[in-house]
Amino acid sequence: MYWLQLSDTRLFLFVNRSLVNPFFDWLMPVLSGGPGLKNALIALSIAAGLALLAFGNRRARLCVLLLTLVMATNDGLVCKTLKHAIARPRPFVTLPEARLFGTIGKGYRPPGSAAPNAGAPARPANHNSMPSSHAANWFAAAMVLFLFYRKSARLMLPLAAAVAFSRVYNGVHYPADVLAGALIGAGYAAAVAVVLETAWQFFGAKWLPRWHARVPSLVPDLKSLDPRNR
């Protein structure tokens, strides 16, 4: 496994140090959720979700509900559990040459915050690295949207990949962390969709036949899971 860690470290340093340029120095913290951007994105997402629930069609409403369920559980239930279990230090914790938002070896700090004192330790709550929650959340969202709207992948996949890349560029994750996060997020979203659809086809048809007749599928593109369609 040593060569995997070595390759991961080398790739991290290539992205984090060799690809440095002024444009990326501005863009990558933005993609990771710079000052105020995270809260603005959450507020915008909530507003859009409420609008779709109120005025959208059935597919849009089901998409919002599944997206809410996946996003509410993916980070806190899946990613944080794995982070504590794996306990892999972030690159800036173990690599003094890591470039972190333009600062070399100074420990983690959010973009826009005052530079930490020389030798100040990184915040303990931010030490765990594997998997990347940013990558997991964005790829989970991309998967849910893809299940309902195939063309959404044209926007969501490049955006999710850009966010994942920014985490390496910003010095807070190794490439393997974001790859694991992407696979976990997309896989978790797909698994939740399959489980819910399978349960609805079995229990809904049996116990809630009227509702099932009105809503024959929770995830329309997974109708093949219905035994009656086999």
Has residue 167 got a pLDDT over 50? yes
Chain Cα centroid distance, residue 55: 27
**Interatomic CA distance for residues 204 and 213, integer angstroms:** 9
Question: For residue 229, what pLDDT is reported?
Answer: 47
Mean of the pLDDT values across residues 171-190? 94
> pLDDT class for 43, splitting at 50, 70, 90?
confident
Q: Which residues make beta-bridge pairs with 128?
A: 89
| CATH code, domain carrying 109 | 1.20.144
* 127 inside domain: yes
77-104 per-position pLDDT tens digit: 888 899 888 888 888 888 888 887 766 6
* 187 inside domain: yes
**Interatomic CA distance for residues 35 and 39, integer angstroms:** 9
Question: For residue 122, what pLDDT is reported?
Answer: 40
- Inter-CA distances, 104 with 109, 132, 156, 171, 174, Å: 12, 21, 32, 10, 16
Pick the range with the lowest mean pLDDT from 5-19, 38-52, 141-155, 195-209. Answer: 38-52
Has residue 123 got a pLDDT over 80? no
Question: For residue 198, what pLDDT is reported?
Answer: 87
Q: List the structure tokens of 52.
A: 């779709």
Query: Is 10 or 106 the better-scoring residue by pLDDT?
Result: 10
**Interatomic CA distance for residues 140 and 36, integer angstroms:** 23
Q: List the structure tokens of 56.
A: 């959208």
* 2 inside domain: no
Q: State percent of the chain over pLDDT 90.
A: 33
Number of domains in the chain: 1
* 37 inside domain: yes
Neighbours of 114 (CB within 10 A): 6
* 1 inside domain: no
* 197 inside domain: yes
Question: For residue 177, what pLDDT is reported?
Answer: 95
* 210 inside domain: yes
Mean of the pLDDT values across residues 151-167? 93
Question: For residue 103, what pLDDT is reported?
Answer: 66
Mean of the pLDDT values across residues 207-230? 69
Mean of the pLDDT values across residues 22-33? 86
**Interatomic CA distance for residues 14 and 20, integer angstroms:** 9
Has residue 175 got a pLDDT over 80? yes
> pLDDT class for 116, splitting at 50, 70, 90?
very low
- Arithmetic mean of pLDDT over the chain: 81
Query: Is 142 or 98 the better-scoring residue by pLDDT?
Result: 142
Domain of 125, in residue numbers: 7-229
Has residue 141 got a pLDDT over 90? yes
